[in-house]
Amino acid sequence: MNKILVSWFTGMVIVLSGGAAFADQKNYVWTYDYATLARGSSEVEFYQTAVTKDIQTRNASDWKQQVELEYGITDHLDAALYEMYEQPADGVLSYAGYKLRLRYRVADKNQLPVDLLLYAEHQVNITDENAFEGKFIFAKDIGNMNIAYNQIYEREYREKKDKHEYAAGVSYSLVPWLSIGIESKGSYTEKEYAAGPTIAWVGNRIWANIGAVYGMNRKSNDREVRFLLGVPF
């Protein structure tokens, strides 16, 4: 685990020494915004998520980590590769698979009554079923406030099992470099629902977000906390 963390840190330092670029900064940690990378630009993103299933039974977390490399194909289309890792509360960090993703912005911002982005992802999972995930991402800016909703469809290839999920958020920009918000995510299929706060920060060369959601019924995980770090290059 330490070697992996050292490698990630070294990569971030190298990237930070590069020139300016357009960033894929986000308002949320689970909900996607209406955004793609600019043509020819690239970014590395690091995700770390702690999942606590039942605080009353045991206040211990399973950890999930992702390293994502994004590239802007056009000003409306980008692609990404994710490398995934998992660490159970009583286990060691291990490789969990990879994902390939495309995002497409249907029009320029504010050209439609509600901005629309299309998302398609192919997942290869070591410990779970391989799957396809598609999203319709709706968003709207109203002054300093952003509203976003993701309708999510997941299809397991082998079991042919369908899931219908969602992620949604409302955020408010206090200053150009800091916004606060609230997010909700869950599964209509599994009847799981959670909600909680999110903070988004933008620096000169990096951006970072942190958010937490808390289960709203017994089927949901009690707590999930996620940290995001993005570095354009």
Return the pLDDT at 63: 96
Query: What is the per-residue pLDDT for 135?
Result: 98
pLDDT digits over 148-193, tens only?
Answer: 999 999 999 998 899 999 999 999 999 999 999 999 999 999 999 9
> How confident is the model over 185-225, as pLDDT tens digits?
999 999 999 999 999 999 988 999 999 999 999 999 999 99
* Domains within the chain, CATH numbers bracketed: 2-232 (2.40.160.40)
213 alpha-carbon distance from chain centroid: 14
Q: CA dist 107 to 46, 70, 152, 202, Å?
A: 28, 20, 20, 25
Q: Is 111 exposed, middle or buried (0-12, 13-18, 19+ CB in 10 A)?
A: exposed
Residue 55's pLDDT band (cuts 50, 70, 90): confident
Angle at 22 between CA 16 and CA 25, to 5 degrees: 85
For residues 146-157, b (16+ Cβ closer than 10 Å) or e, as one string? Answer: bbbbbebebebe
Dihedral (C-alpha) 43, 20, 204, 208: value to the nearest 10 degrees?
0
pTM comes to 0.88
Residue by residue, DSSP assigns 143-198 as TTEEEEEEEEEEEETTT--EEEEEEEEEEEEEETTEEEEEEEEEETTTTEEEEEEE
The Cα–Cα gap between 129 and 206 comes to: 34
